[in-house]
Structure 1
């Protein structure tokens, strides 16, 4: 990864005179991003230069999109509220933002509606905001009261109108519902997070840090370097790259020209961790592994976007202990599979495609296909060969459903064959910090997701979700293909593999969330979750009702939907 840093610094030196304005990225937040995407769906056409399959979005891009909508008529009061919210949240780039506060606090604070403190001059732009997440709840599966206590700060800005930066730091203590804490004790990781230690008798303590710098090397090429995460796709889940795993070190190069968006992502990730149920240990540095990914997205006309991707996960630790970045994978335009074969290596290469289609106004159809390994003859034979590893997503979204303003319905199905995303080496799986880079269930599952979002008032959002998944788990010393961290050389059989094999499990997850925005990015949430796991092994059965209330300030809702 040091080579990647060198390339980044070299470009920074070569292009200083030609740097163009570059904004920070809006942090990943499924509710926030839905609020943006729904307006493209409502219009029934792709906004020029807007590529929703790669998240996050540049704040300048969001502001331009919202400004383009201002010229249209017929917006409901709720839509006007949402557009004003997005403009004010990105006010430094918006033409139509009414961002100034009527009564700043002590003259210097909250001079804008969205920022605790800001500086906005020709040479320097700075936005500082506090971050707070205070949540408390109870559940039927445990007498333990749950809570989340997050305090932090978020900073973004720009220097000389050319180099953007972003940083988020947060200190956290939490006691999650029992199904999450059980997963922590068994897997030694906190979902979505990195290093952690025990807190009290049944809690976790962890520090969250993300940050990057970004600039445009040319009019059409953007470079970003730092520690963060991304998401590929238009669905609620992603089978290509999701934001489930924690942040990682990355260098990203994104080229937007004509109707194309071509993104290269080079990362350094954590291959394993050391610890026990009381927390992780730092007795020695954890082994690294690396991922290179490129994704090409093309807007065809005003209705259709298609994309193709290829990713490779590699690590030399197992064979030579020389755990460095393979320089050949820095090539931004070559097929990784060709390099892998040329090197005589067995790195884990995945490829596939995604699409989004807007057939009519208010409706979006989307999908993804991931091929981990694939032989067409074996598919035709229907033999259930283990190495036919693939994952498929298909979904649809209907906004302003049934003629009701701000009622949005989304239905999505995801399937993944056994052993998909796994590999025959210890560190070749499609994972980071022992957490999947794609779907939280790993592999060997089929899932249906239903989401209903209703915004009766500008400040009030009601969201109901129902998730039902069937998957297979492993018995002692077994590998039926769901745990992507296990070497697939330990598979149970070569043929007659099918989705859900192993210990059959059916997960039913339902949630109802009411979220009220008192002030800009200050929310009160009331959430109820029903979760039930029915397993062929009776001792694994689980059921809980979980109710919580949270105060959120400049931070997304925390979801543990698995």
Structure 2
């Protein structure tokens, strides 16, 4: 399959004749992307080519947005943030102020953003170290510190004005809070990561994180990308379509942007299952074919339609008919007589008066109108919905940004017959990290009182139903995507939050100080209360931590 994708990439490159400079992508970081989000709401009608529903964003688009914001940035914080975005994307703008006054040994940090860089008319490269050191205390595990120790390197650049490339590799040792260990014990995998092993007995986890891609502009409007990375679809804090919760996966992506349209095709090779102890065995494969069409109906209103197929053929083969980038996959599925997992839906984003954004998603895993109208709790009424609001400079206070979001996911959504067709990769959900069978309410307050200091408070309240899994019995109430819907207890009578009733409140307050470009210190406090009707599943945690980060986002486990 990888050789097949590579052949496509090579063949298309040969037939391309009208090419613009490549566009490397800005690594996805929720804190940095909030700045982009903020300024897109305030000034995005002047930069309509930035479709915020598909992440990550190209550096060229981010630089263009920052150039639009720069003349309007009157407040010191906005000036600082705008200059940060310009400097971080210095090779796509002439408005950066990135020259370093004191290079180290004349070779290192010749600009403010990169440990080392080189650029001429044919080639550019940026090299940066990556480090994340964190210590914390969890009242549930008082005998030792939780910690994170990540060391790595990030490299990106361009060649001949046509190819862009990016590589990140990091080596990690992590000791998690107790609630994360509960998730690891449930699913057998480390959240967000692939292969792992124990560190210091069974007190910590050791793993390597790697992401890389090569992208090429086929024409002025079409770009192709091949690599191993994560993606995120939507404008919300959560995505009910495709999130960055699961580990990176091999992919081929085509982005077509013309007029008011953005059309994305994404083909991925996923890992269907993972069991520790099978280190010498090839892990089973499955595949995803996904596409989304977005249109800017006006400069401040975007509407998107999407669909996806999860499939697997005998001996790990891909179904070549799903390479068709235009036709509805559901019609292909019916013609094949297959039992592939098909999903479709829509999303929208509406910016109002350069101050408020209303957004949402609707995802249909299964839909039968007569069963909806019957209101009898048919198990296959598998749908998910999201609606949210962002309020920029709230109440007239500069750089006080608020966000509220509601997510509702019916039982058995994302589940399927087995691991070869369910909506997961490496035993981790491709959409919401908590799976399904839930109501969720999210409130976020972000305040930047001075240029280098950011304060963020989050409250995530979830009502959900857990599945009953014991050594002798499994009753699937529709929460865990890894379970087969064949294990459900009945055909009718299902409702959201059924099963082991659980109420969970996750509170997070974080103060982040940026010492220099992409060098951060985080002071974090988490209060997390989980109350379930099954007492062994209840847990009340109080966690405090201090972290030092260099060219890497926070490691968040908000499930």
Decide: shared fold, TM above 0.5. yes
In structure 1, the residue matched to 2:197 is: 197
After superposition, the C-alpha distances for 1:451-488 in whole angstroms (9 at most, x for unaligned) are 00000011000000000001111113110111111111
In structure 2, C-alpha distance between the alignment counterparts of 1:511 and 1:135, rounded to whole Å: 16
In structure 2, the residue matched to 1:362 is: 355
In structure 1, C-alpha distance between the alignment counterparts of 2:133 and 2:233, rounded to whole Å: 30
In structure 2, C-alpha distance between the alignment counterparts of 1:184 and 1:198, rounded to whole Å: 12
Question: Displacement of 1:360 after TM fit?
Answer: 2.0
After superposition, the C-alpha distances for 1:299-353 in whole angstroms (9 at most, x for unaligned) are 011221000000000012xxxx332110000000011111111000010000000
In structure 2, the residue matched to 1:252 is: 253
In structure 2, the residue matched to 1:78 is: 77
In structure 2, the residue matched to 1:110 is: 109
**Which sits farther off after the overlay, 346-355 or 419-428?**
419-428
Q: Is the 8 A contact 2:157 2:164 kept in 1?
A: yes
Question: Displacement of 1:18 after TM fit?
Answer: 3.0
Is 1:133 the counterpart of 2:132? The answer is yes
After superposition, the C-alpha distances for 1:489-513 in whole angstroms (9 at most, x for unaligned) are 2211111100000000111100000
In structure 2, the residue matched to 1:228 is: 229
- Within 5 Å, give how 1:304-453 maps onto structure 2: 304-316=301-313, 321-453=314-446
Q: Is the 8 A contact 1:63 1:86 kept in 2?
A: yes
In structure 1, the residue matched to 2:167 is: 167
In structure 2, C-alpha distance between the alignment counterparts of 1:5 and 1:471, rounded to whole Å: 43
Question: Displacement of 1:283 after TM fit?
Answer: 2.2
Q: Is the 8 A contact 1:19 1:217 kept in 2?
A: yes
In structure 1, the residue matched to 2:28 is: 28
Pairing partner for 1:492 from 489, 493, 497: 489
**Which sits farther off after the overlay, 34-43 or 516-525?**
34-43
4+ residue runs of structure 1 moved beyond 6 angstroms?
none
In structure 2, C-alpha distance between the alignment counterparts of 1:86 and 1:326, rounded to whole Å: 41
In structure 2, C-alpha distance between the alignment counterparts of 1:517 and 1:439, rounded to whole Å: 30
In structure 2, C-alpha distance between the alignment counterparts of 1:189 and 1:12, rounded to whole Å: 38
Q: How many residues align?
A: 552
Q: Is the 8 A contact 2:44 2:65 kept in 1?
A: no
**Which sits farther off after the overlay, 356-365 or 170-179?**
356-365
Question: Displacement of 1:61 after TM fit?
Answer: 1.2
Q: Is the 8 A contact 2:310 2:423 kept in 1?
A: yes
Compute the RMSD of aligned alpha carbons.
1.1
In structure 2, C-alpha distance between the alignment counterparts of 1:136 and 1:300, rounded to whole Å: 48
In structure 2, the residue matched to 1:510 is: 507
Q: Secondary structure at the match of 2:365?
A: strand
Q: Is the 8 A contact 1:43 1:362 kept in 2?
A: no
In structure 1, C-alpha distance between the alignment counterparts of 2:458 and 2:419, rounded to whole Å: 36
Q: Secondary structure at the match of 1:322?
A: helix
Is 1:7 the counterpart of 2:5? The answer is no
Q: Secondary structure at the match of 1:241?
A: coil
After superposition, the C-alpha distances for 1:241-268 in whole angstroms (9 at most, x for unaligned) are 1011010000000100000000000000
Q: Is the 8 A contact 2:70 2:79 kept in 1?
A: no
Distance change in 2, residues 1:431/1:545 (3 Å): same
In structure 2, the residue matched to 1:268 is: 269
Is 1:96 the counterpart of 2:95? The answer is yes
Q: Secondary structure at the match of 2:475?
A: coil
Distance change in 2, residues 1:45/1:60 (3 Å): closer
In structure 2, C-alpha distance between the alignment counterparts of 1:216 and 1:373, rounded to whole Å: 37
Q: Is the 8 A contact 1:449 1:465 kept in 2?
A: yes
Give TM-score scaled by structure 1 length: 0.97
After superposition, the C-alpha distances for 1:54-82 in whole angstroms (9 at most, x for unaligned) are 0001111111111122233x521000000
In structure 2, C-alpha distance between the alignment counterparts of 1:58 and 1:118, rounded to whole Å: 19
Q: Secondary structure at the match of 1:552?
A: strand
Q: Is the 8 A contact 1:44 1:359 kept in 2?
A: no
**Which sits farther off after the overlay, 157-166 or 471-480?**
471-480
In structure 2, C-alpha distance between the alignment counterparts of 1:234 and 1:176, rounded to whole Å: 29
Is 1:464 the counterpart of 2:461? The answer is no
In structure 1, C-alpha distance between the alignment counterparts of 2:18 and 2:71, rounded to whole Å: 33
Q: Is the 8 A contact 2:447 2:454 kept in 1?
A: yes
Question: Displacement of 1:44 after TM fit?
Answer: 6.8
Distance change in 2, residues 1:267/1:46 (3 Å): farther
In structure 2, the residue matched to 1:290 is: 287
In structure 2, C-alpha distance between the alignment counterparts of 1:376 and 1:236, rounded to whole Å: 30
In structure 2, C-alpha distance between the alignment counterparts of 1:229 and 1:506, rounded to whole Å: 30
Question: Displacement of 1:361 after TM fit?
Answer: 2.1
Q: Where does the alignment leave 5 or more consecutive residues of structure 2 unmatched?
A: none
Question: Displacement of 1:281 after TM fit?
Answer: 4.0
Question: Displacement of 1:187 after TM fit?
Answer: 1.2
Q: Where does the alignment leave 5 or more consecutive residues of structure 1 unmatched?
A: none
After superposition, the C-alpha distances for 1:189-241 in whole angstroms (9 at most, x for unaligned) are 11001100000131000001100000110110000000001101000000011
